Chain A
Amino acid sequence: MKNRISKLICLALVITSLSCSDLLDVQAENSLAGDLLTSQAFMEKALDGAYFNLFGIYDGGNGGELLGGDFKMIATLFLRHQTQEVSWQSEDFPDYLQFSQKSVTNINPRVEANWIRGYETINLVNGILESIEVIEDQTAKEEIQGQALAIRGLLYFEMVRFWGPQYESSTTGSPAIPIRTKAIHTKADIGTTTLSSVGEVYQRAVEDLEQASTLLNGKSIPASKISYAACQAYLGKISLQKGGVTEFGKAEGYFTNAISEGFILNASPLDAFNNATASTEDVLAINQNIVSSTGNLSSATGLSTMFSSLSSTGYGAMQIVATAFDPLQKTFIPNNPNFYEVDLRHSIQSNTTSTSSPNEIDSAFYQNGVRLSSSKFLRNTDVIPVIRLSELYLGRAEAIHEQVFSSPIDPLALSDVNRVRTRAGLPALLDTLSAFEFLDSIKVERAREFLYEGVLFHDLKRWAVNDAGVSIAFGQDPLNSKFILPIPQTECDASSGLCN
């Protein structure tokens, strides 16, 4: 009998041990795991995954970060100088309130969301770059490698602009943000996190974008992805941001390269927005559709949700209180675009109500009860422009003019500015303007053209470097550290020594 028992025990043990390893090999439906980046098909999917994050597409929890919204939102709210100008719905969207109050804490949820999504994107492209050799087709390899590098480069530039001090000789050595160029897959890859200096981050951005330009030059890439032109445009922006004659010279070249890629200004500045697909002037634009957008009414994220006060598409958190006088002509709007009556970018539609359809809006602003809303972001199914041709023209004009700084005005610089002015319905400027008058014209034109597009905030910082008279939000210094986003508390807690 003992024999029989021992046989049974043996049997049980044998069954268990034999089957163990195979039985535990289970897979879940739709699960992807392990080392996936081994084929061109998966590398392409991974690149789209990086775009998904770079463009702040709503993922069930987060949405509207980075290029898809907050880089515009935060920059715009920092400019606000009085409550009527941007009447922020603080009860429904309290997370954004701190930016308009210029008092951003390191536990602000939007700061953390952008920080983490930025590095998530960088980690994804680092993974692509490390596996780039798996792609055999040379053209495909260059396209993917170029875009991955460009994403990393432009993100480092965008992030150092927000989390670091303005680039100037006194700050290039100042600590700014960490640089990660190696992919992190597991706990063991994390290592220690340290801050790189402003100069190092700018250099990283330039190197990545230069290399990307080389790889992407001559490739046909739509505006919804990063093309050679977009790389050159970003390099131009970086040079402008750095400032100085050498950089202005480089900027002129970059913008010229980008402009010659064949973009065409729309007939009206209003045509540049609310398009289902990229318009002819879009150098880089985020495609949205009902399935992949930066957010909707129920996620309560995304630009259109914040800007639109039409109840079908937004909550209208970002609004101007209309007063008896025309607020757009006064010093109400951030840094005073001084719109003329005839400026198409100033046109106001007053026959709308909250239940109007976005299709009924054909002006730059619409009045909805006592409030005015910008019509730049009406629907979450439309393209969000990131870089438009007009930014290249105005950027080149400034770069040229800053190099020569003389009157009569350089003809190319003048014609670049006048292209943007005349299509908005304004008269062309003459070359008899003084150098200072022309520079001011460029600045005002940037304020008018890129209102709410997140451009002006960074302009004010770079202009303030050489001009103490430049102020932000009615008399405040753009270089004040309160305009630098804090590193999130959670990051400081997790990376010891990072924030000391």
Chain B
Amino acid sequence: MKLFLSCLFAFAITFSSFAQTTLRGTVKDASGNLVDNVTLRVEGKEVFATFNTAGSFTIELIDGYETLLVYAKGFKSQTIYLAGQTQLDVVLVKEPNQDVVNLGIGSQSKDQMSGSVSSIQSDEMIQAPLTNLEQANQGVTSGLQVQNSGGNLGAPAVVRIRGGSSLSQSNAPLYVVDGVPLTSGSQSSLNPNNIASMEVLKDASATAIYGTRAANGVIIITTKSGRDSGLQVNLDYQFGISETVSRLDLINAKEHRIMMFENEIRSQIDFIKLGASGEVIVSANGVEQVLNRTFFETYFNNPDVISFEDSGGTVQNIQTSRSAFLDSLVYDTDWQDQIFRTAASHKFNVDFSGGTDKMGYFASVGYNTQEGILIGNKFDRFNGTVSFDAELTSKLDVGLNFNYSNTKTDDLQENQDVAFPLQAILLPPTDSFDPTDNYNLYVFGGRNFYNPMTEINFADFISKSNSYISSLNLNYSLMDNLDLNVNGGYERADFRTDLRQGPETLEGQPSGNSRISEQLFENYILDARVSYTQDIGGNNLGVILGSSYQKTVSTFDERQAFINSISQLETLETGNALLNSNPITGAANALVSSYLRLNYDIKNLYFFQLSTRMDASSKFDVGNRVGFFPSLSAGWNIVNESFFGQSSAINQLKLRASYGLVGNTPFGDFLYRNNYGIIKYDNRDAIELTNLGNSDLKWETTAQLNVGLDFSILNQKISGSFDYYNKSTTDLLFPFPVSQTTGFSSITDNIGSMTNKGFEVMINTVNVSNADFAWTSSLNISANKNNISDLGGQQSIIGVNAYLENQPAGIFYMRRYVGVDPATGLALYDDGNDGTTTDWEAAPRQIVGNPNPEFFGGLTNTLSYKSFDFSFLFQFVQGVDLYFATGEFLANSGYNLQGQLSSQIDRWYAPGDVAPNPGYDIKQTAPQPSSRWLQDGSYVRLKNVTFSYNFPESVLNKLNLRNMSIYVGGANLFTITDYEGFDPDVSYSDPNDGVIGQNISRGIDNFSTPQSRIIMSGIKIGI
């Protein structure tokens, strides 16, 4: 990657055609090492130096008396007045503030930081086809947990920084794009190609300046801009092929027939004749047999006369009924073949950048189209970006950013629906479907089995979005050390979902069903601040004082009619009897804030930072609006201590600590007061109370302590950081149960507290570094321990997850499955008294597992040899339990006649069988969730591999290109896991459960689409 960047700069094209003198030379740092990524140009002219691979430059001059400008990142720029020489060795001096970290509000050198921030540079982001921004960062940096909600294209990922700080409110970090704090979730549709850098602010000292919204961390995104070069054009095309990461081992048609035979026998017979040890005796062709696995496997397909004695002692023949049903099972369908496909993707991106030392510009357009690995799923995205910045006068800088994206997702309704394609894996392999009869099943259609193919062919579920993020930034230098910065931002996002269900579908009959749902978000921000720096006797003081105003407004609209056409629905006028369209309450909130940050460093040795923010939020009643969020941090640059001396073994050693408060506001806008909803009865508008007001409501407060150490040793060959944190959230916003005689079941209130403690390790190593070969590694590991310390004596249970006091949030709480009763074949559950019971309902729920991982992380390796680059990323999650909810149906010993995992064949058949799975139970009427389907969800995954070739200078010169590379790669190539489902990287929550459901439902695999395994290749060209 580094090499790629060198090439990019090294072969910068000159436009000069009047060259008369050639100046040659090198650019080195104070230690005599060549400096990479240098820009060397003639002042006032579009004339640039070119560098050869050995690091020497040449630049064509007119007379050799020009003025040269030399820039390189991390170094002080130089102006050199030439005096006719032809050889020049430039020595650049390092900027003291190298590695500047953008803190959203202000920036700071990495050296002087005392907070906990991790940075991701654009070239560290994954080069997979369609990943959204969140997914691109999985495994890349510490403290950032990214969990996919499934491999469905367009599905969001769950992002958590240092665990979730809230139980019932959003746990998503705050995203700030070019100074605009987002409210609509548009970060997902940003084009990762356009991002210059991302900073993940983790501790309170870094986030406190974002106040009430910073409890879950802040992610600062800076998009690319241009500067100091002629017009540069980058072209990028990628083609990918994806398929499912895995398939399940399902029973085949023969095995399903055996199961159906068992079902017939067990449902018909009032077994009366028993053998000596309780085994059931039946007759086949007049010969007495024990009813066991061998019996079913022997007689399932033969026209034998099966008979038994009923309770009256009469011999009953079940030949007829068996034949009628079993003989209809003539099909052999692999449903996974029907729903999975090999899918193609294309990604195209072109960007233009350039500028002078006084201005820069960047513009790009990108288009991405990808088919899902499941039928019916497709995603398209278009991105456009423009950024411009200029130094208008010596005092006034202006910057303008504009990001646009348009997405379109073709999908089917949410996973729980029986219509979701993945649920076809439950369909009996002995059945098939008739395309001329609405894809209905031949045999099982009448038994409430539904073929998703019907849905694929007769329904549409299309989501579209347009989002715009724009910002205008003015910086005015009042004095040398005093700047005024005004930043205005506007974000707008509109989302539209069209649902059409034809009359052929389950929910669309008899006349079809169409629904259009629209949402519009608008978000305005105005931020003004002054920043001041002062040298006080060798010590530096920095002050930032600012205030901001942000307002977010969203409106919703929904129209529905039982018709089979979206376009017809669009034309239905208000008042039309078919049209169902009630006004929906919108959302609006505002935040007025002022903030202050003081930095003071003493002799580049001790650093102190105080930052505070005062927020006033419209989400609370007048008396509770203002929140105060202070933080304090300190750093000690031990390596700069005189007692440390000059050692090349230790290049950096810094200890830092911070403590501070941040907040979280409720999701709802006006929970402090009574609100009414508009409803309709008998064609008249009506109103009803929709909540109980709570004027005492206030924000959740999270106090966070962070202690960290940054180091760099052995000539920076090994560097990294350790962080320990302890977050404690109090005044948790929680729907506290109230008497339902109020008409409501809960009221949002501040109760309880929760802690998140953990550590993070990040280590970067330069393993080999010489002229031809370089190898670097980067490892990050994060561990977080969550505990609900107080919940006001309440508990909250959704499905198999729960909030319980003194337990991690979302702990698995269900019946404990302990095996199979050898006598009856029924499932055994822990009865809570050291015994077992076959009565599922009587068994108490217990804590059986934890969906929160013990630790997770990633390991990146980058190797380069001459013109070849090779990089790969392993991503891992360990010590986590997953609930294979799909198994309630698919691995339930034949439950409901459905298709099954092959493992279920190994079940109980006859008394005495010691079997790993309970027997076929015709009386079971519900799936009966239990720890039977709780599994270890740990995994290690080869997340990404890229192998690229950079074309040599000779080729580039011939083609007149700045750079060119081709690459092949793969994503999710293999996964090491014991998990039985498709993919351990899943997280399902029922959309009907709302925000609290999303928080509590962790580690659930409920027919979640697996991730794609992707093979891709692409080309990048720089002109």
Check B653 for interface membership: any CB of A closer than 8 A. no
Contacts of B673 in A (CB 8 A): 33-34
Partner of A491, one of B547, B593, B689, B741: B741
Q: How far is the CA of A397 from the CA of B742 in the complex (A)?
A: 40
Kindly list the 3 A-B residue pairs having the minimum CB-CB distance in the complex, ordered from nearest.
A120-B743, A48-B686, A29-B586
Closest residue to A43 on the B side, CB-wise? B687
Q: Could you name 6 residue pairs across A and B whose Cβ atoms are closer than 8 Å?
A: A8-B530, A49-B688, A119-B741, A123-B742, A290-B561, A491-B740
Check A482 for interface membership: any CB of B closer than 8 A. no
Contacts of B579 in A (CB 8 A): 291
Partner of A122, one of B529, B546, B743: B743
Check B562 for interface membership: any CB of A closer than 8 A. yes
Flag if A28 contacts B692 (CB, 8 Å).
no
Flag if B739 contacts A491 (CB, 8 Å).
yes
Q: Which of B9-17, B265-273, B506-514, B998-1006 contacts A (4 or more CB under 8 A)?
A: B506-514
Distance between B324 CB and nearest chain A CB, rounded to angstroms = 15
Partner of B592, one of A23, A91, A298, A488: A23
Check B118 for interface membership: any CB of A closer than 8 A. no
Contacts of A24 in B (CB 8 A): 590, 592, 616-618, 625
Check A36 for interface membership: any CB of B closer than 8 A. yes
Distance between B447 CB and nearest chain A CB, rounded to angstroms = 10
Closest residue to A27 on the B side, CB-wise? B588
Distance between B524 CB and nearest chain A CB, rounded to angstroms = 11
Contacts of B561 in A (CB 8 A): 290
Contacts of A291 in B (CB 8 A): 577, 579-580, 680, 683
Partner of A116, one of B510, B689, B693, B740: B740
Contacts of A16 in B (CB 8 A): 547, 592-594, 614
Partner of B680, one of A120, A292, A494: A292
Contacts of A180 in B (CB 8 A): 741-742
Instruction: Give the contacts of B564-612 with A (CB-CB under 8 A).
Output: 577-580, 583-590, 592-594
Check A136 for interface membership: any CB of B closer than 8 A. no
Check B871 for interface membership: any CB of A closer than 8 A. no
Report the interface size for chain B: residues with CB under 8 A from the other chain. Answer: 86
Residues of A within 8 A of B (CB): 1, 4-5, 8-9, 12-13, 15-16, 19-20, 23-34, 36, 42, 45-53, 55, 57, 59, 61, 90-92, 94, 112, 115-116, 119-124, 127, 178, 180, 184-187, 189-190, 193, 224, 287, 289-292, 297-298, 311-313, 488, 490-491, 493-495, 498
20 extra A-B contacts, CB within 8 A, seeds A30-B585, A292-B681: A1-B482, A12-B530, A13-B594, A30-B586, A32-B676, A33-B673, A33-B675, A46-B688, A49-B687, A52-B686, A121-B743, A122-B743, A123-B742, A178-B739, A187-B693, A187-B749, A287-B681, A289-B577, A490-B737, A493-B794
With known contacts A15-B547, A34-B674, A297-B509, A190–B738 Cβ distance under 8 A: yes
Contacts of A49 in B (CB 8 A): 679, 681, 686-688
Partner of A123, one of B513, B532, B743, B992: B743
Flag if B577 contacts A31 (CB, 8 Å).
no
Flag if B676 contacts A36 (CB, 8 Å).
yes
Contacts of B549 in A (CB 8 A): 19, 23
Partner of A28, one of B509, B585, B593, B685: B585
Instruction: Give the contacts of B463-517 with A (CB-CB under 8 A).
Output: 478-479, 482, 484, 506-507, 509-511, 513
User: Most chain-B Cβ atoms within 10 A of its Cβ — which of A9, A29, A312?
Assistant: A29
Flag if B592 contacts A19 (CB, 8 Å).
yes
Partner of A26, one of B532, B553, B556: B553
Closest residue to A17 on the B side, CB-wise? B594
Check B292 for interface membership: any CB of A closer than 8 A. no
Q: How far is the CA of A36 from the CA of B685 in the complex (A)?
A: 14
Check B695 for interface membership: any CB of A closer than 8 A. yes
Check B926 for interface membership: any CB of A closer than 8 A. yes
Flag if B687 contacts A51 (CB, 8 Å).
no
Flag if A30 contacts B679 (CB, 8 Å).
no
Q: Mark B510-554, 1 if CB is under 8 A from A, else 0.
A: 110100000000000000111010000000000001110101011
Partner of A494, one of B506, B685, B737: B737
Check B955 for interface membership: any CB of A closer than 8 A. no
Q: How far is the CA of A453 from the CA of B747 in the complex (A)?
A: 36
Contacts of B589 in A (CB 8 A): 26
Flag if A92 contacts B448 (CB, 8 Å).
yes
Q: How far is the CA of A112 from the CA of B686 in the complex (A)?
A: 24
Closest residue to B593 on the A side, CB-wise? A16
Flag if A30 contacts B737 (CB, 8 Å).
no
With known contacts A46-B687, A185-B674, A311-B510, A493–B925 Cβ distance under 8 A: no
Q: How far is the CA of A4 from the CA of B476 in the complex (A)?
A: 14
Flag if B586 contacts A51 (CB, 8 Å).
no
Check B744 for interface membership: any CB of A closer than 8 A. yes
Check B138 for interface membership: any CB of A closer than 8 A. no
Contacts of A1 in B (CB 8 A): 479, 482
Partner of B696, one of A8, A187, A289: A187
Contacts of A287 in B (CB 8 A): 681-682
Check B678 for interface membership: any CB of A closer than 8 A. yes
Check B944 for interface membership: any CB of A closer than 8 A. no
Distance between A313 CB and nearest chain B CB, rounded to angstroms = 8
Distance between B887 CB and nearest chain A CB, rounded to angstroms = 18
Q: How far is the CA of A122 from the CA of B739 in the complex (A)?
A: 14
Contacts of B532 in A (CB 8 A): 5
Partner of A490, one of B510, B546, B745, B896: B745
Flag if B680 contacts A45 (CB, 8 Å).
no
Closest residue to A54 on the B side, CB-wise? B681
Q: How far is the CA of A30 from the CA of B693 in the complex (A)?
A: 18
